[in-house]
Amino acid sequence: SLRSRCESTEEYDYDYLSINKTWVLTPKAQETDATQILNALLKNYDNKLRPDIGIKPTFIDVDIYVNSIGPVSVIQMEYTIDIFFAQTWYDRRLRFNSTLKALTLNTNMVSRIWIPDTFFRNSKRADSHWITTPNQLLRIWNDGKVLYTLRLTIEAECLLQLQNFPMDTHSCPLVFSSYGYPREEIVYRWRRYSIEVSDQRTWRLYQFDFTGLRNTSEVLRTGAGEYMVMTVSFDLSRRMGYFAIQTYIPCILTVVLSWVSFWIKRDSTPARTSLGITTVLTMTTLSTISRKHLPRVSYITAMDLFVSVCFIFVFAALMEYATLNYLVGNKKPLEHNNRKARLPPAGAQVMPSFTTININNIMHWPPEIEDDEDEDPGSPCLEGKECERFFCCIEDCQTGMWREGRVRIHISRLDSYSRVFFPTAFLLFNIVYWIAYLYL
């Protein structure tokens, strides 16, 4: 039984090996031919020298397949991109005559032939993928054409201009060139369809929308020579949804909430003061949060402008009540003293009370009485108060600019004026703000 078991095991191993040989191995003639070709190509090959050195520059055609873009870091001003980077050039030293038109080789051959010294000028960090094997491809055609591709994940710089934040658009570049070979030795070229992108639904842009890309080439002049620089620019526009929910809508609601104090009686000092202070502190918190996810730039962004104006409106609503409370509080004693001073003497002719009406400085009603001109006590506003210059503290001011002017502002009606002025001014500001940043 032991002998039969061993025989069955040997038969099983033999069958397994025969199956593997049939499945894996290529025909013996092609395997020998490929080996001989590689040995012949590498026999006198010097990988330290570029093709056609001293004769003409080496032209390198570049192709990029964008696997994904994102995320974009606003604070660090950088973005992450995952690409397949392909370079194609001709090397006459790698020509061969064979029935094989091309040789597809693994990464072991990469270090044995010359490859361009391409580097990414604006990269902070770059990684090539090595799982499960190095993600590199080398293919050599019988006419000397060489294709070299590899997969890279690059964290590149993107200088963001945040003046229009969060309604801003950006163009994030990916810049590469030769590290050591000037334009006289290496020339990079774009093909007609050099750049392709994958399905954008898998990209991690989050706050941005991909709107397009542009590829350009230019010559960079340095002290070491002139270098051909290739640039791919990815155009991104920011989505406003997050910032509208987190900042804009809360700021607008806080400003509207501060207007509630205009409908509260001015005698309710605790209620109006608490409401004003609460809205001011809320705007301070919103202002701090809005700057939390931004770099510390020295200029004002669009969001900073909006939050600042909202803060001014909320603070002005609180100051409106402080002004009203102060002026009305100083008005009542003056009116009381004025009534005592105007008590008619015994036996004097009593005239009915009236209110002065100014119509374009032409007509005054009722007509002035000459007998009372000498007894005019003057305006109570003159008693150490300067309110006459700005407001009509007493309903019937006797002297000063307000008697001759066309407009009267009654302090007691300041809340009524604010109910109209504050919403109108805030509405006009929003119209101008959104039109300027969205359409201009």
pLDDT (mean) for 38-62: 92
Q: In this predicted structure, what is the pLDDT of residue 319?
A: 93
- Kindly state the helix (H) or strand (E) to which residue 290 belongs, with its residue range: helix 269-290
Q: How confident is the model at residue 409 (pLDDT cuts 50, 70, 90)?
A: low
Confidence of residue 192 (pLDDT cuts 50, 70, 90): confident
Return the HEC string of 244-273.
HHHHHHHHHHHHHHHHHHHHCCCCCHHHHH
pLDDT in tens, 200-248: 888 988 889 999 999 999 999 998 899 999 999 999 999 998 999 999 9
The model's confidence at residue 432, banded by pLDDT at 50, 70 and 90, is: very high
User: Which residues pair with residue 416 across a beta bridge?
Assistant: none
Cis peptide before 166 (omega within 30 of 0): yes
Give pLDDT, residue 208: 92
pLDDT of 324 reads 86
Q: Is the pLDDT of residue 303 over 90?
A: yes
Mean pLDDT of the chain: 81
Give me the mean pLDDT over the 179-200 stretch: 92
- CA 203 to the chain's CA centroid: 18
Could you tell me which residue, 437 or 392, shows the higher pLDDT?
Answer: 437
- Confidence label for 18 from pLDDT (cuts 50, 70 and 90): very low
Does 62 score more than 80 pLDDT? yes
pLDDT at 53 over 70: yes
Report cis status (omega within 30 of 0) of the bond before 57: no
For residues 59-86, give the mean pLDDT: 94
Give the mean model confidence (pLDDT) for residues 175-204: 92
Looking at residue 360, its pLDDT comes to 46
User: Is the sign of the CA dihedral 350, 351, 356, 360 positive or negative?
Assistant: negative
Three-state SS letters, 39-98:
HHHHHCCCCCCCCCCCCCCEEEEEEEEEEEEEEEECCCCEEEEEEEEEEEEECHHHCCCC
Task: Give the confidence band of 301 by pLDDT, cuts at 50, 70, 90.
Answer: very high
pLDDT(345) > 70: no
Give the mean model confidence (pLDDT) for residues 261-278.
90
In this prediction, residue 358 carries a pLDDT of 47
Whose tokens are 């900073």? That residue is 304
SS3 category, 398: coil
Model pLDDT, residue 19: 46
**Residue 240 CA neighbour count, 13 Å, CB half:** 14
The helix or strand, by DSSP H or E, that contains position 33, with its residue range, turns out to be: helix 28-43
| pLDDT number for residue 344 | 54
> Considering the entire predicted model, what is its pTM?
0.71
Q: Is the pLDDT of residue 175 over 70?
A: yes
First-last CA distance in the chain: 93
Residues belonging to the chain: 440
By the 10 Å C-beta count (0-12 exposed, 13-18 middle, 19+ buried), 48 is classed as exposed
pLDDT at 260 over 60: yes
In terms of average pLDDT, the best of 16-20, 295-299, 384-388 is 295-299
Q: How confident is the model at residue 424 (pLDDT cuts 50, 70, 90)?
A: very high
Q: Please indicate whether residue 343 or residue 167 has the higher confidence score (pLDDT).
A: 167
Query: Half-sphere exposure (CA, 13 Å, Cβ side) for 270?
Result: 0
Mean predicted confidence (pLDDT) in 42-51: 91
pLDDT number for residue 12: 43
1, pLDDT greater than 70: no
| pLDDT tens-digit map of 352-404 | 444 444 444 444 444 444 444 444 444 444 444 444 444 454 444 444 444 44
How much is the average pLDDT of 289-294?
Answer: 85
pLDDT at 337 (0 to 100): 52
Give the count of beta carbons closer than 10 Å to the beta carbon of residue 101.
8
3-state secondary structure of 350: coil
Mean pLDDT of 265-276: 89
pLDDT at 112 over 60: yes
